[in-house]
């Protein structure tokens, strides 16, 4: 079925949005749309946006202006805004797009396209993630995103997700298993289990620990990764499952957000920093007792927000100290950005931009130090790397510890390595990655 129409998707934000875009693409192609090479060639442009920080929405407003220009050249062009849109931005963006559509109603999109315009206020109470049943068009077949849940019911004070994606809705474990099996049969080397809060997963007695074990037992040579867990309710069963499931890579992200109890409490994070640190110790101990060689060492990343309303210098220093003590391999450090409608948006955003910049700079400098120290442990080791990019004389990919590895290729090499596991001998460590030679 070809309809002579071309689509182009712009995706902002996290892996969940990237995964959603794969379902949008598949739905459109089923209805005859063809992918466009660039925005200017498209008859349908879909902006799949993010609301976690204001900067992403600012990009939407910027891009919306370009869309008006492209429209002048192609009057057939229709534009869609979807993804994580806050109710406040819904009103502002109506004049800029032809359609504003909830991803949860993906199956109905073609009906809406029959109308001149359609704006659908996202129904936050909609407890449905049946759009996951749309078979995706994976961006690549070797590293595959599999959503296990949608939304979040935690309402951390600063976070837009409960207002954009709605309450936590679980995907059935049977569907997840079918998607994982299919992906592996089609050559997937890496499975990413996605959810805003994976350890809240429990479908008919199958909790996240059990789900992980079931995927680990699927035959095949593949890695398992997931993102993201919440430090609360990180049970012993989960720790055991992660450490014992050998296909689970020794890396994950464990958001800390702040190293200060008072800030954590105001963020509604429901753990104290002492509890977070002892959780990390228990997880590290489990890896060290269950695994061999380099696998004993867990690589950990985190999310930090700096400049939360009322965060004092001392409280920021507590975060600096906690980061140093945990010793992260990587951290996603964000400057606090008020999101309209969230609990903390009512608090004055009273840490100045200059102060946020300074705190961010020192947190990043510390990270550079701990990340480099962690990376040095890999020098002279031979490690497995899943290649995702091939250039003229180098290939790049990620190791099991989620390190970016740059590998020099021999001069006469004309093999295609993308999507393959290769072995690399590490020769140098940098703060943000490793370098090596093909082993
Ligand atoms: N301001 C800054 N960072 C935020 N994050 C979420 N909401 C905000 C906000 N309002 C960060 C958190 C979260 C990550 C996905 O984005 O650290 O874990
Ligand atoms: Fe947002 Fe908190 Fe839910 Fe994570 S757990 S998505 S930070 S509300």
CATH numbers and ranges of domains, the chain? 6-119 (3.40.50.12160), 140-249 (3.30.750.210), 283-377 (3.30.750.200), 382-438 (2.40.50)
User: Hey, whose CA ends up nearest to atom 7 of ligand 1?
Assistant: 159
What distance lies between CA 39 and its chain's CA centroid? 24
> Mind listing the pLDDT tens digit for each residue in 152-209?
999 999 999 999 999 999 999 999 999 999 999 999 999 999 999 999 999 999 999 9
pLDDT > 80? residue 284: yes
Which residues is 35 bridged to in the sheet? Answer: 7
Give the ligand with the smallest distance to the CA of 331: 1
User: Hey, whose CA ends up nearest to atom 1 of ligand 2?
Assistant: 159
What distance lies between CA 49 and its chain's CA centroid? 13
pLDDT > 90? residue 396: yes
> Mind listing the pLDDT tens digit for each residue in 289-341?
999 999 999 999 999 999 999 999 999 999 999 999 999 999 999 999 999 99
pLDDT > 80? residue 125: no
Q: Which residues contact 174 (CB under 8 A, 6 or more apart)?
A: none
pLDDT > 90? residue 51: yes
Mean pLDDT of 241-264: 98
pLDDT > 80? residue 122: no
pTM above 0.85, yes or no: yes
Report percent pLDDT > 70 for the chain: 100
> Mind listing the pLDDT tens digit for each residue in 99-120?
999 999 999 999 999 888 888 8
CA of 130 to the centre of ligand 1 (A): 27
Which residues is 421 bridged to in the sheet? Answer: 386
d(Cα 77, Cα 68) in Å, to the nearest integer?
A: 10
> Mind listing the pLDDT tens digit for each residue in 6-40?
999 999 999 999 999 999 999 999 999 999 999 98
Mean pLDDT of 137-149: 95
CA of 320 to the centre of ligand 1 (A): 17
Residue 64: closest CA among 42, 40, 82, 47: 47
pLDDT > 70? residue 1: no
CA of 13 to the centre of ligand 2 (A): 14
């Amino acid at each position: 079925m070809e309809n002579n129409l071309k689509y182009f998707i712009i995706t902002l934000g996290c892996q969940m949005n990237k995964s959603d875009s794969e379902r949008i693409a598949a739905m459109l192609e089923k209805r005859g749309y063809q992918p466009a090479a660039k925005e200017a060639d498209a008859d349908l442009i879909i902006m799949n946006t993010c609301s976690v920080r204001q900067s992403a929405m600012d990009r939407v407003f910027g891009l919306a202006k370009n869309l008006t220009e492209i429209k002048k050249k192609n009057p057939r062009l229709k534009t869609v805004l979807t993804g994580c849109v806050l109710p406040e931005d819904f009103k502002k963006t109506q004049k800029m797009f032809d359609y504003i559509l909830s991803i949860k109603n993906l199956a109905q999109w073609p009906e809406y396209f029959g109308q001149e315009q359609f704006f659908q206020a996202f129904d936050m109470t909609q407890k449905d993630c049946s759009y996951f049943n749309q078979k995706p068009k994976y961006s690549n077949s070797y590293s595959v995103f599999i959503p296990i849940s949608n939304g979040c019911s935690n309402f951390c004070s600063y976070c837009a997700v409960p207002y954009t994606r709605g309450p936590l809705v679980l995907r059935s474990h049977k569907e997840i298993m079918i998607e994982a099996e299919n992906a592996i049969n089609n050559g997937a080397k890496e499975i990413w289990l996605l959810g805003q809060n994976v350890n809240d997963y429990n479908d008919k007695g199958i909790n996240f620990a059990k789900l992980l074990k079931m995927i680990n037992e699927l035959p095949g040579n593949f890695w398992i990764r997931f993102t993201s867990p919440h430090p609360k309710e990180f049970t012993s069963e989960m720790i055991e499952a992660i450490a014992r499931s050998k296909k689970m890579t020794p890396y994950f992200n464990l958001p800390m957000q702040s190293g200060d109890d008072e800030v954590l409490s105001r963020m509604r994070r429901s753990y104290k920093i002492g509890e977070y640190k002892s959780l990390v110790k228990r997880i590290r101990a489990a890896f060290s007792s269950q695994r061999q060689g380099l696998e004993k060492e867990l690589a950990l990343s985190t999310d930090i927000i700096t400049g939360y309303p009322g965060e004092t210098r001392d409280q920021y220093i507590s975060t600096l100290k906690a980061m140093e003590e945990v010793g992260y391999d990587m951290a996603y450090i964000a400057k606090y950005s008020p999101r309209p409608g969230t609990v903390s948006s009512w608090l004055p955003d009273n840490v100045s931009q200059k102060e946020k910049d300074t705190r961010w700079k020192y947190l990043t400098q510390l990270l550079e130090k701990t990340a480099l120290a962690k990376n040095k442990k890999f020098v002279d080791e031979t490690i497995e790397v899943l290649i995702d990019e091939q250039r003229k004389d180098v290939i790049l990919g990620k190791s099991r510890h989620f390190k970016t590895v740059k590998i020099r290729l021999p001069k006469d090499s004309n093999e295609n390595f993308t999507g393959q596991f290769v072995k690399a001998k590490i020769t140098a460590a940098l703060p943000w990655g490793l370098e090596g030679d093909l082993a």
